[in-house]
């Protein structure tokens, strides 16, 4: 929005009598919760608008963005049975309308499955790599609270140097995929060449088919879809160390 402008956020129930036109995925008639986020910024032209939900599409300069943010949002919304409608004009701002199927909270409470107790660590040392410092700090704090020792790095090359120095000090590796200069797949390949038996988990908002093939060929143990909760990471680590979650 530049140096000034207005951002509007609104949540409201809506009912669709006919399928919604212009949505990113087909929405049948029914009840939905609509989250609207709009701004009074510079807006987008038609060619940009047509591609903004596509993976790796970005208008930022090289090295300034991965083009995965909106693609990840689109994937999450679609996985929940929803869709996105985007409207924008140059000089007139942009509006995102996100539709989620409405759920009766009383029915949901009756049918909800009991949560499994997450498996806790036993002092295992985890090499955690994410170029976003805020995500790294939060994940490190929570994983340490779950019984793991975490060495965190925002620079994958620094992480690789640390592993090269003391490869036997680590019990598992969790790494983001999309990072500048050196991807999580490249990091995983380098680490597994040094120590082929260490379990590596890749976290990604979007992987191309060829990336998945590389991950399988390299020998990655798991792929977690971003944004993944810390709970999902804890469950993944439990599986790696042979400690499945416990049901009450």
Residue found by looking up tokens 């709970």 in the block: 231
Domain that includes residue 70, residue range: 7-111
Q: For residues 129 and 233, give the distance between their C-alpha atoms in angstroms, rounded to a whole number.
A: 13
Q: What is the pLDDT of residues 203-236, one digit of tens each?
A: 887 777 887 888 888 888 888 877 666 678 888 8
At 49, the pLDDT band (50, 70, 90 cuts) reads confident
**What's the structural domain count of the chain?**
2
- Using a 10 angstrom Cβ sphere, with 0-12 exposed, 13-18 middle and 19 or more buried, the burial of residue 130 is buried
Determine, yes or no, domain membership for 12. yes
Judge whether residue 105 has pLDDT over 50: yes
Instruction: Using alpha carbons, list the distances in angstroms from residue 16 to 12, 204, 223.
Output: 13, 33, 36
Q: Which of 85, 111, 137 is the last residue of a domain?
A: 111
Percentage of the chain beyond pLDDT 70 is 81
Cβ-proximal residues to 47 (8 Å cutoff; 6+ apart), any chain? none
46: CATH:
3.30.565.10
At 248, the pLDDT band (50, 70, 90 cuts) reads very low
Judge whether residue 70 has pLDDT over 90: no
Cβ-proximal residues to 225 (8 Å cutoff; 6+ apart), any chain? 75, 203, 204, 205
Of the candidate ranges 37-51, 122-136, 177-191, 219-233, the one whose mean pLDDT is the lowest = 219-233
Same domain, 220 and 187: yes
Q: What is the pLDDT of residues 171-210, one digit of tens each?
A: 999 999 888 789 999 999 999 999 999 999 998 877 778 8
245, 119 Cβ separation under 8 angstroms: yes
pTM of the model: 0.60
Q: Which of 82, 111, 140 is the last residue of a domain?
A: 111
Beta strands in the chain (DSSP E): 7-16, 30-39, 83-88, 94-101, 125-129, 149-153, 172-176, 200-204, 222-225
Q: For residues 24 and 28, give the distance between their C-alpha atoms in angstroms, rounded to a whole number.
A: 13
Q: Which of 111, 137, 169 is the last residue of a domain?
A: 111
Q: What is the pLDDT of residues 3-20, one digit of tens each?
A: 667 899 999 999 998 877
Q: What is the pLDDT of residue 165?
A: 96
């Amino acid at each position: 929005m530049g140096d000034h402008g207005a951002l509007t956020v609104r949540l409201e129930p809506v009912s669709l009598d006919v399928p919604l036109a212009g949505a990113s995925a087909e929405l049948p008639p029914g009840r939905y919760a609509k989250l609207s986020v709009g701004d009074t910024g510079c807006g987008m032209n038609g060619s940009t608008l047509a591609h903004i939900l596509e993976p790796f599409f970005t208008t930022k300069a090289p090295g300034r963005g991965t083009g995965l943010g909106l693609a990840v949002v689109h994937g999450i919304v679609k996985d929940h049975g929803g869709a996105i409608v985007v409207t924008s004009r140059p000089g007139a701002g942009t509006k995102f309308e996100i539709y989620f199927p409405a759920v009766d909270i009383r029915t949901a409470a009756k049918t909800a499955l009991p949560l499994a107790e997450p498996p806790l660590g036993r002092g295992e040392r985890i090499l955690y790599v994410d170029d976003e410092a805020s995500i790294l700090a939060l994940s490190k704090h929570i994983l340490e609270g779950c019984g793991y020792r975490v060495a965190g790095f925002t620079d994958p090359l620094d992480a690789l140097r640390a592993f090269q120095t003391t490869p036997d000090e680590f019990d598992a590796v969790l790494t983001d995929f999309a990072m500048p200069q050196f991807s999580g797949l490249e990091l995983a390949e380098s680490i597994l060449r040094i120590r082929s038996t260490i379990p590596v988990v890749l976290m990604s908002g979007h992987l191309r088919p060829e990336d998945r093939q590389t991950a399988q060929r390299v020998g990655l143990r798991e792929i977690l879809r971003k944004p993944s909760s810390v709970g999902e990471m804890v469950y993944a680590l439990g599986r790696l160390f042979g400690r499945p979650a416990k049901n009450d």
